[in-house]
Amino acid sequence: MAGSLIKIDEEIVTAAVASVSLLGIDSTYDVYMFTANNVVCSENIRDGRLRVTKSGTADTTANYDSAAKNLKSYGAFGDYSQTNSTYWNRVIANFQVTTSGVSGNAIIYLYNFNSSSEYSFVTLDDATMYSSGLLGQQGGGVHTVASASDGIQFFFSSGNITSGKFTLFGLKK
């Protein structure tokens, strides 16, 4: 596995921004990986969201479907799904910024992003410390448009990203 992750783009947020876009997806790799580490939101109980980018601009059409299983240390597991949305929701779920030291982390694999004849899709794993305990998710999503995408945009349901490290990798063939 050593040497199989090739860094394509990275952004380290140290001052509040509304969103982060990582670009550079092309036909070099079949699979890409997006990571979000120690991400903090400026507002309480907000969900992280993703969009694909086309020519560097986020695609805001209502073509995002997703489903996930919520895994909680403090209660029953739950299900989440959405169809025909303008983003993939709950990529990092339920930030609780009023609790000291709370941050979120995610690993998201990106498939078919460079294909103009297939839908792009993602699989995700995330974990966030919530006031009641650990909240994680496993799931996936599809962008129901057969067109190539060149990147990914991360943002919150409201508020700003106040800190975090975002990285886009290509997975070596």
Say if CB 48 and CB 104 are below 8 A apart.
yes
2 burial via Cβ count (<10 Å: 0-12, 13-18, 19+)? exposed
Strand, coil or helix: what is 148?
coil
Q: What is the pLDDT of residue 40?
A: 85
Q: What is the pLDDT of residue 121?
A: 94
pLDDT tens sequence for the chain (173 residues): 567 999 999 999 999 999 999 999 999 999 999 999 988 888 776 788 999 999 999 999 999 999 999 888 888 888 989 999 999 987 776 555 555 667 788 999 999 999 999 999 999 998 887 667 788 889 999 999 999 999 999 998 888 998 899 999 999 87
Question: For the whole prediction, is pTM greater than 0.85?
Answer: yes
Q: State how far Cα 94 lies from the chain centre.
A: 14
Residues facing 136 on adjacent strands:
71, 127
Q: What is the pLDDT of residue 33?
A: 98
Please state the φ and ψ torsions of residue 22, each to the nearest 5 degrees: -115, 125
Domains within the chain, CATH numbers bracketed: 5-171 (2.60.120)
Q: What is the pLDDT of residue 157?
A: 86
Residue with tokens 């699989």: 123
